[in-house]
Amino acid sequence: MAALCESFTLCGLGPSGGVGLGSGLLALEPGPDPDHVLLTDRGRTATLFKVSDQKPLGCWSVKHGQIITCPVVCNFETCEYIAVHDDKVLRIWKNKDLNLDKVFKATLSADVYRIHSLPNGGPVVLFKGGGVRTLDVLLEAPQQEIENVISDEVIKWSQAFMEGQEPVLIFATEKDEDFFVYVQKVKMNSLHKYKLEQQESKPMNFTAYIKNQFITLLCLYSNDAVYKVLIPLQQNAEEEEQILSKSLLLNLSVSGSVLKGTSFIVLDKDHIAVLGSLATSGEESKECLTIWNTKFQTLQTSKELPLGTSGQLWCYEEKFFFTHGKVLTVIMYKCETSSLAAAVGKLKDSRAPDVSTFVNWDTLGDEELLASFQSQQPVPLKSEPKMTLRSRRNTVAKVQQDTLSVGQLLLNLKDASTTVFENELRQLMSKAQMPDIQANIGCVMTAITDRCKANPKYYPQNFLLQIVQTRDLSYSLCPDLMAVALEKKDVHLLQICLQRFPDIPEEIIYACLKLFL
């Protein structure tokens, strides 16, 4: 589940905003404190804001005639700020500095595309030609030659992560309507190039994250869908350019409406936020902020933005930041664990039968039997008289004989007529003293579902309903029952199972909901 919560205005963007953002917002980056954000406008100014107070803490501008050409970032290790103006001029300063003309300056030998600042890895500089340097290495010799990695390609997007102690940079480029992805391990100077497989629609935006030695690259395409691409971090150096295949993650459509997304962000493993225009046939499109559940392919929540946006979306500390009209708006959100079981009230609770209820004692050996009995006794079994254990073994032996007779009966009924088959099963279940009744009822259900699968015309709906409604069953005791009911589209039986079974897998719950809808 996901929800959009309260919202507020961080600052104005027009001339009256008072923070130098009249030229529009270029980027928003995290500040030195979790409650701070660093805004860069499309002109000369960077402003540090305290979010909770909606107050500027500092504002710095380059001289007239100069332009900040990539987002200003914070070096988290030194609490300094780093800016690039006019593509090649690097500036570094602290909070106490007021005049950027008097702070550290270095002119570089190549144009900078973007600086990424990592909390535990320091700043990493990506040049427009695809070369990468850490800030420390760059400052040792600012005029050092920067290699041109990409030829006639234009960088469209980049992102940086930490994989252990290693900074990893990923960026996407475009050339003649082909799109390429580069993965650079900065310290190891390891670079791999990939090509995105072609299709009629084009990628418009990207985001990525690292997990389990894979980069998961998400691509927002012009066909109003989000695709997922997996890129392994471990690659052989001699491997040539590979083509990356993608899989559909999410279609941005709901109830006949399509979201034309412009920006998107991964919130957790099951949720993404998308900013865009929701278009409905015959109606004027409306800009809105949405949260989608990628696991269950559903729109979780949305908020209409009637004053329009710039199409940019940022997210820090469970807060969304975006322009709305002439202000910068902040909306808090919350995401909970994605669970269909929770959605239909099927989370396990104290009323759910204990697993030990369903133990089939006759299948356990002596050691397993001892362990199972121990798990249910308040006093350790070894302290009981040996005669007690011996009597229990005798009881288990008797259970085994009875269970074998049940199994033999079910085997004998395999080819019986429908009338004989059901009558014998009813008589079997009517035995009040039948040992291991739960497991044996499970065997009965398996016999019925096996017959249903073998004979598509056979489906004793009333008999199945009677068993489910009068016996304490679970999904694990009769795993084929709900699959057969789904095939027969037996909505009533499925509803009863959802109410009574404590251990239904989420994929079965999802299949039920799809059938109900």
pLDDT at 136 over 60: yes
- Of residues 216 and 425, which shows the higher confidence score? 216
Sign of torsion over alpha carbons 377, 383, 387, 390? positive
User: Of all helices (H) and strands (E), which one includes residue 461?
Assistant: helix 461-470
Which stretches does DSSP call E strand in 186-224?
Answer: 190-196, 203-211, 214-221
Distance, CA of 322 to CA of 305 (rounded, Å):
10
Residue 16: pLDDT band by 50, 70, 90 thresholds?
A: very low
Strand order in the sheet with 253-254: 253-254, 257-268, 271-280, 286-293, 298-304
> Given this model, what pLDDT does residue 466 score?
86
Mean pLDDT for 25-39 is: 96
Mean pLDDT of 85-98: 95
Pairwise CA distance, residues 216 & 270, whole Å: 13
Q: How confident is the model at residue 417 (pLDDT cuts 50, 70, 90)?
A: confident
Q: Which of 505 and 128 is assigned the larger pLDDT? A: 128
Sheet (strand 122-127) strand order? 112-118, 122-127, 132-134
Average pLDDT, the chain: 83
- State the average pLDDT over residues 287-311: 92
For 212, list phi and psi in degrees, rounded to 5: 55, 50
Question: For 35-85, what is each residue's pLDDT tens digit?
Answer: 999 999 999 999 999 999 999 999 999 999 999 999 999 999 999 999 999
Residue 362 CA, chain-centre distance (Å), reads 43
pLDDT tens digits, one per residue of 314-360:
999 999 999 999 999 999 999 876 666 544 444 444 333 333 223 33
pLDDT top residue among 35 and 1: 35
Per the CB < 8 A criterion, the answer to whether 375 and 356 are in contact is: yes
What would the mean pLDDT of 13-23 be, rounded to a whole number? 55
Report which of residues 507 and 436 the model is more confident about: 507
Q: Packing angle between helix 418-429 and helix 461-470, nearest 10 degrees?
A: 10
Contact 423, 416 (CB under 8 A): no
Burial 114-129 (b: 16+ CB within 10 A, else e): bbbbbeebbbbbbbbb
